[in-house]
Amino acid sequence: MSSRKKVIVLGGGYGGVRALETLSKNENLDVTLIDKNRYHYLQTESYNLVALNISLDDIIIPLDKLVKGIDENFCFIQDEVLSIKEDKLICKNEEYRFDYLIIGVGRTTLIPSIFKNDTLFEVKNLSNAIQLKQSFENTIVKHLKKEKTTSSIVVVGGGSSGVEIAAEMGNYINKRDMTQQIKVTLIADLFLSELDDGSRKKAISTLEGIGIRTIQKMVKKVEGDKIYLDDEVIDFDFGVVAVGLDVSDFIKNLDFKKEGNLLKVDEYLRVKENIFAIGDCTYLLDKYNKPLPPTAQTAEQSGVIAAKNILRTIEEKPLVKADMKIYGLAIALGGKFAIATASFIKIDGILGYLGKKAIEKFYKIPLKLKA
């Protein structure tokens, strides 16, 4: 009987990829990545896809090629997970036995029922991001051909995703002198809560400077092509909803401890002796026991820690405690302008933009080379 341990990484997102890279340090493992999609989606760059700045190839990496590039003995399987039963992962097409499992399936965009509308899209899902891109592209073309005189685009959500998408669309429109014909409105009850007051005011001022209208109010309802606020009705052609996150039914139905709907882990990121949880589907804490936001940074860090602890378990070494932190934030505000913060350092404008681009390329280029 083979002594090689079977490790399954469930989810090919930011955390799952980092876990694979860490597991590749041990040559005596049978490692399989399972994901319902065949691609690693660079969701943090979706704002550039929507605003026509990059192509589809720039934002996805084929998982089968990436897995082989990390380790030629690793395996990728495209399948959809349904449940876990003891040491088996039950998927749509087959059951897979494991000795160790890392759960990193991420989250989905929470779309409240009032926003269920065929012309309102979210971008955490690649298919919806592409539909949003096509809607924006079609709008630009119609105005270039003078088939339309006015258009209205709404973005609901004041977090980084909503702000970055609004900013890049607004910048594209502004550069082509179409701000009188195509209006972008950003609506939220709170803008960029992760920033300090000064940076937040700078961000809003920058958005308004490229023609984006910002409204700090709650949306009451959506009917047809109209968004209703307390004292105003806004007509729109299409829009973006980025107001919250939810977990999949798979996570909700798991019989593990939860905090809300998120998987609750011990200090080593375990939900069970041989099962670890990472990334957005997990209730992650910093060393002060404060919840960490669902970011690519925390997903990557947790992926590395979980994989290290699997290796250390196999080698009968003490496990390492999770010690994750947010090292900084970088928010794109249209064109070559961004706000970047790290510890007590704040930079904006072209330097912030260069910092954000450096972060994106530092992550993406090595993975593109492996694939």
pLDDT tens-digit series, residues 319-368? 999 999 998 889 999 989 999 888 778 899 999 989 888 888 888 888 88
The verdict on 174 and 209 lying in the same domain is yes
The verdict on 234 and 118 lying in the same domain is yes
Mean pLDDT confidence for 22-27: 95
Where does a domain end: 190, 221, 244?
244
The verdict on 161 and 223 lying in the same domain is yes
Report yes or no on 334 lying in a domain. Answer: no
pTM of the model: 0.92
For residue 345, the cross-strand partners are: 342
Instruction: Report whether pLDDT(220) > 80.
Output: yes
Run of H or E including 37? none
Report yes or no on 36 lying in a domain. Answer: yes
The verdict on 154 and 216 lying in the same domain is yes
Report yes or no on 180 lying in a domain. Answer: yes
The verdict on 143 and 215 lying in the same domain is yes
The verdict on 312 and 279 lying in the same domain is yes
Report yes or no on 359 lying in a domain. Answer: no
The alpha-helical segments, DSSP class H, found in the chain are 14-23, 46-50, 63-70, 126-144, 160-175, 197-209, 249-253, 296-314, 350-370
Instruction: Report whether pLDDT(111) > 90.
Output: no
Report yes or no on 301 lying in a domain. Answer: yes
The verdict on 293 and 221 lying in the same domain is no
Report yes or no on 342 lying in a domain. Answer: no
The verdict on 167 and 209 lying in the same domain is yes
The verdict on 102 and 214 lying in the same domain is no
Instruction: Tell me which residue range forms the domain holding 217.
Output: 113-244
Residue 103: which of 331, 233, 258 has the closest Cα?
258
- Total domains in the fold of the chain: 2
Please count the other Cβ atoms lying within 10 Å of the Cβ belonging to residue 321.
12
pLDDT of residue 1: 38
The residues, ordered by sequence, that sit 6+ positions from 39 with a Cβ below 8 Å of its Cβ are 12, 60, 61, 62, 63, 126
Report yes or no on 134 lying in a domain. Answer: yes
The verdict on 87 and 175 lying in the same domain is no
The verdict on 120 and 240 lying in the same domain is yes
As a whole-number percent, the residues of the chain with pLDDT over 90 amount to 77
pLDDT confidence of 21, banded at 50, 70, 90? very high
C-alpha distance from residue 242 to each of 29, 47, 123, 164, 186 (Å): 40, 12, 8, 11, 11
CATH code for the domain of 93? 3.50.50.100
